[in-house]
Amino acid sequence: MFAVIEIAGKQFKASKGNTIEVPKLKDKKEGDKIKIDKVLLRSDGKKTDVGTPYISGSSVELVIKKHGKTDKIRVFKKKPKKRYERTIGHRQPYTVVEVASVK
């Protein structure tokens, strides 16, 4: 059984036991359980339910495993003939969650 869920405006495929890397979930600690009610699609292999936009009464339980940051991305800007150069970096925060159950 799997479900397509929405977290922070992005869609993820969740099935029991899988780990998913999602955008950082603020105010949550490692080991916390969270319940996601924004289920867009649910399928058990035989029957598929599609929400409009969400399936009422369906939910997915997640367990937070860890928080982290991705590798640094360097952004270089330059304007020709103006002696302007600028380098900035960015590390996107993320949260790794494990799917405990799909209901």
Peptide bond connecting 53 to the previous residue in cis, omega within 30 degrees of 0: yes
pLDDT of residue 45: 86
The strand pairing partners of 101, in sequence order, are 61
pLDDT of residue 34: 94
pLDDT confidence band for 88 (50 / 70 / 90): very high
Which residue range(s) make up the domain with 32? 2-102
pLDDT of residue 103: 86
Model-level pTM? 0.80
pLDDT in tens, 24-78: 998 899 999 999 999 999 998 899 989 888 999 999 999 999 999 999 999 999 9
Q: 4 by DSSP, 3-state: which?
A: strand
The total domain count for the chain is 1
